[in-house]
Every structure is written in structure tokens, then in C-alpha cells.
Amino acid sequence: MLMLLTQSVSNASFGIFFPKFTGTIYEVMSAPISYFEIVLGYVGAAASKSAVLGLVILGTANFFVDLHILHPFMMLLFLVLTAITFSLLGFIIGIWADSFEKLQLVPLLIITPLTFLGGSFYSIDMLPEVWQAVTLANPVVYLVSGFRWSFYGISDVSVVASLVMVFVFLGVSLAVVNWIFRTGYRLRP
């Protein structure tokens, strides 16, 4: 999950940033394709690569540990939804960034700490009640919890809450991407 989050963000952000940086984004914007197709291409490529890498890591892990997935369909659903959602976030970061430093700012200072504080390496039940409540504001908790449930049948929050939060994050990301293309934010000179 950690690799999936970071790869989704970095693949999508670099994928859209480099055409902006080199000036070829204007050719893409003037092509006879819709904004939906542009986003589908960039985000689809980043999400596909991230999902394939996640499955390769899962397959490789199977050689070293006895791996049993209790809910394989839900695992694939969380894998795909997480890859798409964080690829959309990476797409937004790539459009927002106007330098390589800004491109790495959000993944380094926001995504990585949220991942480490999101229950990736521990159960949030181990935290004091105050910090449990604070941790529930972290969207990564819901992703990790849903993914953990699909493997082991245990989770820190309910699977329904995890799915709802993934769809909320996906909806917010889609709304921001829609606003970017509607207004031309950092896409038009």
C-alpha cells in the first residue's frame, strides 16, 4: 500500500509536469480530444503502472511468506481505487507545481507523513483515545484499514467507512480536476 500510494502520486505528477515544463502541454490541449480523455490518459497510465507494481510486489511477497487473501475482490477494488485516487491527486500536484521543488513538496511533506501516521505499521487501537480521534481525520487510515481487512479480515474502521472515504476522496479529486480544466488553472499561458 505504501508503494502504491507513493508511485501513484509520483507517476501522475511527473507525467503531467514534464509536458508543462517542456511546453508540449499546449499540443495536447489543442488536440481534438476532450479533457476527460486527457485525464483518462495521464491518470490511467499512472494508475495502471502503480497497480501493476503493487501486484508484482504482492506476487513477489508470496515467494517469501505464506500469503492468504480472505477477500480478493475487495483487495483488488481497494488496489484499483487507491491507484486511481492518488493518481488524480498526483495529476493535481503536477499541474499545480511550477518547479521540481514544488513537485516533490506535497509527496515528501504531506503524503509520506500521512502514510506513516495512518496505521500502516500499527493498529490505531494502540493509540490513546485522543490520538485515535485525530488519526481518523487522516484519509490514509481508511485506505490501509480497508486493504488490511481484505487480507486478514480485521480493520481499525469498518469496511463500509473505508469505501465511503475512498469514494469521497475520489469525488473531491475529480471535482478539483474538473475545476482545473474549466478554469484553465496553470494550463493556459
76-103 pLDDT, tens digit per residue, is: 999 999 999 999 999 999 999 999 999 9
Residues whose CB is less than 8 angstroms from the CB of residue 151 and which lie 6 or more positions away in sequence, other chains included:
68, 69, 70, 71, 75
pLDDT tens sequence across 51-71: 999 999 999 999 999 989 999
Decide: 55 and 7 in contact? Cβ < 8 Å: no
pTM: 0.92
pLDDT of residue 81: 94
Residue 80 neighbours by CB distance under 10 Å: 16
Decide: 95 and 180 in contact? Cβ < 8 Å: yes
Decide: 113 and 24 in contact? Cβ < 8 Å: no
Residue 169: pLDDT band by 50, 70, 90 thresholds?
A: very high
Q: Whole-angstrom Cα distance, residue 140 to residue 129? A: 18
Q: Per-residue pLDDT averaged across 28-43, rounded?
A: 92
